[in-house]
């Protein structure tokens, strides 16, 4: 294998995604991203594979030289961060909790890069790893909600399609809108506070909310609670008191309320994080007491989720089950399967398209 080399070398910026650095490097060297990755990685369809999540060492070695050693390149992917957030195995071909999907068909994206227009103005423009992580709904520096599509044409942001005819990654390739001029919304202090608690918890095991022992235990518990929030937004009966106590909206992002936090818009995530922030101020006993007083049961909180850590087991032990829980937690062999409604099918199709 030839030693990789290119004449114009640009540094990997703090928190920069591997793909962002490769896009900028290819353009600086008079190439385009697709040709650049073909040269180093051959026929592998890199821009469909989402190598920002995980890129194996063999492929990283082909672009590793000088200051761009294997460890530095590996740290530009999401894998080292997400590995700390879950006890589950991170398989390259499955969805990962907390990672915003970038479903692709050929090079067309169904979900674009999130961005902060002020960050793109600030020095060298590039796309950050934190913008791919679902709990980051806002820019902590500029205190603005992130944007997840072109404000003018409404299509996903796709900097990987830049070329020598259009080398500015801040310009929408469809409508030529300058993303740096986009208007955005001031974020909520409460929502930003919850976001920053999670961001600071990575690599820190001290003083985590609810007596959780590790970042993985905290993030798994938060993910489950956010699922409860989404469940509450589309229910008006069983946990109405819980929804009203926390001020959760009804039918927030109606098309997506049945899906994971990874698929919500920054605005919807921010609205949930306002409520999350209030829960993060509670101790574990106070949290459980709130669940009990507002009618949250084991069935409502856990539903199909496994008890993956000690905190979840402590919570589950003290919550009651529904009166008919014995039948609701078992799959009956006599259950009649009925056709889904048209709206349910359309929702499932929209969900599937995000991963194609």
pLDDT digit string (tens) for 260-270?
Answer: 899 899 999 99
* Band (340; pLDDT cuts 50, 70, 90): low
Task: Output the pLDDT for position 222.
Answer: 96
pLDDT computed for residue 229 by the predictor = 93
Asked if pLDDT for residue 4 goes beyond 80, the answer is no
Task: Confirm if 119 and 141 have CB atoms less than 8 A apart.
Answer: yes
Residue 329 pLDDT greater than 50, yes or no: no
Nearest to 34 by CA among 163, 136, 125: 163
Residue pair 84/203 in contact (Cβ under 8 Å)? The answer is: yes
What pLDDT is attached to residue 108?
Answer: 65
pLDDT, residue 106, reads 60
Phi, psi angle pair for 204, to nearest 5° = -125, 120
Q: What's the DSSP call for residue 94? A: S
Work out the mean pLDDT of the chain and round it to a whole number: 86
Count of H-run helices and E-run strands, the chain = 16, 4
What pLDDT is stored for residue 239 in this prediction? Answer: 87
Question: Token pair for residue 202?
Answer: 């990575």
Residue-wise burial string across 232-268, b where 16 or more C-beta atoms lie within 10 A, e elsewhere = bbeeeebbeebbebbebeeebbeebbbbbbbbbbbbb
Find how far residue 27's CA is from the centre of its chain: 28
Q: Does the structure show a pLDDT above 50 at 326? A: no
Is the confidence at residue 242, as pLDDT, over 50? yes
Q: Is it the case that residue 87 has pLDDT exceeding 60?
A: yes
Token match 């063999």: residue? 58
Q: What is the pLDDT confidence band of residue 355, given thresholds at 50, 70 and 90?
A: very low
Contact 148, 111 (CB under 8 A): yes
Note the helical H segments in the chain. Answer: 18-28, 33-41, 46-49, 57-61, 70-74, 79-82, 117-121, 189-201, 215-233, 240-246, 266-280, 284-293, 298-302, 310-318, 325-328, 342-353
SS3 content of the chain, % helix, strand, coil (to 5): 45, 5, 50
In degrees rounded to 5, what are phi and psi of residue 132?
A: -95, -5
What tens digit of pLDDT does each residue of 250-287 get?
776 655 556 789 989 999 999 999 999 999 999 999 99
Q: What is the pLDDT of residue 336?
A: 42
| Cβ within 8 Å of residue 158, ≥6 positions away | 107, 108, 109, 112, 113, 173
Q: What pLDDT score does 114 carry?
A: 94
- What is the CB neighbour count within 10 angstroms for residue 114? 24
Cβ-in-10-Å burial (0-12, 13-18, 19+) of 332 comes to: exposed
Q: Give me the mean pLDDT over the 224-247 stretch.
A: 87
Q: How buried is 343 (Cβ within 10 angstroms: 0-12 exposed, 13-18 middle, 19+ buried)?
A: exposed
**To the nearest whole percent, how much of the chain has pLDDT over 90?**
60
Which pLDDT belongs to residue 252?
65
Q: How confident is the model at residue 111 (pLDDT cuts 50, 70, 90)?
A: confident
pLDDT confidence of 203, banded at 50, 70, 90? confident
Higher-scoring residue by pLDDT: 112, 133: 133
**Cα 22 from chain centre:** 22
Q: How confident is the model at residue 65 (pLDDT cuts 50, 70, 90)?
A: confident
pLDDT band at residue 331 using 50, 70 and 90 as cut-offs: very low
Cβ atoms of 219 and 98 within 8 Å: the answer is: yes
Question: Would you state the pLDDT for residue 332?
Answer: 32
How confident is the model over 150-177, as a mean pLDDT? 90
Task: Say yes or no to pLDDT of 328 above 70.
Answer: no
Instruction: Please state, in angstroms and rounded to a whole number, the distance separating the CA atoms of residues 339 and 254.
Output: 21
**Rounded to an integer, what distance in angstroms lies between the CA atom of residue 200 and that of residue 120?**
23
User: What does the pLDDT look like over 12-39, one tens digit per residue?
Assistant: 999 999 999 999 999 999 999 999 999 9
Q: Beta partners for 163?
A: 166
């Amino acid at each position: 294998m030839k030693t990789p080399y290119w004449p114009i070398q640009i540094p990997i910026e703090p928190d920069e995604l591997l793909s962002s650095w490769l896009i900028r490097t290819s353009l600086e060297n008079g190439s385009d991203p697709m040709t650049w990755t073909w040269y180093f990685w051959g026929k592998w369809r890199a821009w469909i594979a989402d190598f920002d999540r995980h890129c194996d060492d063999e492929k990283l070695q082909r672009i590793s030289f000088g200051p761009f050693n294997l460890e530095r390149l590996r740290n530009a992917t999401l894998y080292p961060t997400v590995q700390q957030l879950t006890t589950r195995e991170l398989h390259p071909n499955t969805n990962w909790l907390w990672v915003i999907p970038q479903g692709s068909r050929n090079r067309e994206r169904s979900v674009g890069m999130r961005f902060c227009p002020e960050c793109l103005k600030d020095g060298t423009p590039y796309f950050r790893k934190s913008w791919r992580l679902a709990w980051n709904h806002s820019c902590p520096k500029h205190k603005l909600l992130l944007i997840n599509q072109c404000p003018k044409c409404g299509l996903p942001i796709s900097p990987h399609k830049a070329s020598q005819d259009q080398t500015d990654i801040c310009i929408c390739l469809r409508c030529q809108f300058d993303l740096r001029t986009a208007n955005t919304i001031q974020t909520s202090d409460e929502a930003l506070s919850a976001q920053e608690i999670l961001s600071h918890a990575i690599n820190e095991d001290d003083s985590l909310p609810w007596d959780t022992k590790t970042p993985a235990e905290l993030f798994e518990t938060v993910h489950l609670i956010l699922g409860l929030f989404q469940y509450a937004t589309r229910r008006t009966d069983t946990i109405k008191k819980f929804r009203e106590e926390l001020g959760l909206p009804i039918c927030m992002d109606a098309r997506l309320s049945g899906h994971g936090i990874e698929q919500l818009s920054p605005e919807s995530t921010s609205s949930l994080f306002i409520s999350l922030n209030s829960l993060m101020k509670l101790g574990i006993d106070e949290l459980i007491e709130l669940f009990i007083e507002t009618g949250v049961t084991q069935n409502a909180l856990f539903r199909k989720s496994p008890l993956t850590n000690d905190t979840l087991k402590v919570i589950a032990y003290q919550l009651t089950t529904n009166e008919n829980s014995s039948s609701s937690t078992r799959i009956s062999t006599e259950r009649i399967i009925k056709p889904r409604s048209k709206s349910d099918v359309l929702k499932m199709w929209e969900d599937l398209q995000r991963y194609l």
